[in-house]
Structure 1
Amino acid sequence: MNFNWLAILVAALSTMVVGFIWYNPKVFGTAWMKETGMTEEKAKGANMFKIFGMAILFAFLISFILQFLVIHQFGPSGMVGGPEFFETAKPSYKAFMTDYGDAFRTFKHGALHGFMAGLLLALPVTGTNALFERKSAKYILINGGYWIVCFTIIGGILCAWPA
């Protein structure tokens, strides 16, 4: 399996699109600002280049690692040592990949695994941090929900877009 860097980048950038919608004042933005104590003045004083730049970098890292959860073909690839060993792998590997190399490579399947990762990884991490920060359940649901949606979309993009 090779990495599809364009798919990873597009998946990472999708978090920005979701964020612009999710945190819009007409959706969850007003509630999020209330729960975080954010004000218009504080928001205007932020270094947005740094915030969005780091957010894209973090989303890229998430997208990179999430592909290993949503694309099943990475499992057999890892079993033979990665792409540099494909040519020297046993014939059974080549036969397996011929039969199953494109199995479950759909947006729907990737979205399912992305959703599960969001629900079972992102939400608990977000929730744990929020508990220690003394944030509300509403805060956890807003931010955790955002990451569940993002992981779902990332998983769908990565799984459906061939390398």
Structure 2
Amino acid sequence: MDPKLINWLAVIVAALSSFMVGGIWYSPKVFGNTWMKDTGLSQDEIRKGNKARAFGMTAFFSLIMSANLAAFLAAPTTTTGAQAGFLAGVWTFSAIAIHSLFELRSWRLIFINGGYSVVSLVLMGAILGAWR
């Protein structure tokens, strides 16, 4: 892997896209209320959480995911980038499912969290593939 071949601005934009997807995905109008119910978290507990840590670490790990995908991605097009993102999403969905099964989580929660991962990585891959 040659780091000179990576478009680092695209990596940052792709990482930020996961915030957009997450904001929509986990909103109360989409999966937020169901996610809270299945995790056993309340609005009060979420409000009391350390948002700086959660968002800071999310940004950090999103950058790692995006840079990792860019390093593996020899995708000259949006379509092949999205396909590579989908395949990476299948990996992460599988890891989420394995951990969640041992945590005795519901299939609904597995599909909410795993689905977010797949959609987020497809968008990341599409951005990285389009912006070569």
Q: TM-score range by the shorter chain?
A: over 0.9
Deviation at 1:68, TM superposition (A): 3.0
User: What CA distance in whole angstroms lies between the structure 2 residues aligned with 1:67 and 1:159?
Assistant: 8
Deviation at 1:7, TM superposition (A): 0.7
CA deviation vs aligned residue, 1:93-143 (integer Å, no higher than 9, x gap): xxxxxxxxxxx5111110011112102x11111111111111010010000
Corresponding position: 1:129 with 2:99: yes
Q: 2:31 aligns with which of 17, 28, 32?
A: 28
In the alignment of these two chains, the number of paired residues is 129
SS state of the match for residue 49, structure 2? Answer: coil
Corresponding position: 1:151 with 2:108: no
Q: 2:85 aligns with which of 110, 114, 133?
A: 114
Q: 1:68 aligns with which of 68, 71, 76?
A: 71
Unaligned runs of 5+ in 1: 72-103
- Counting aligned pairs with the same residue, the percent is 42
User: What CA distance in whole angstroms lies between the structure 1 residues aligned with 2:41 and 2:25?
Assistant: 16
Q: Name 1:93's counterpart in structure 2.
A: none
Corresponding position: 1:105 with 2:76: yes
Larger radius of gyration: 1
Q: Name 2:14's counterpart in structure 1.
A: 11
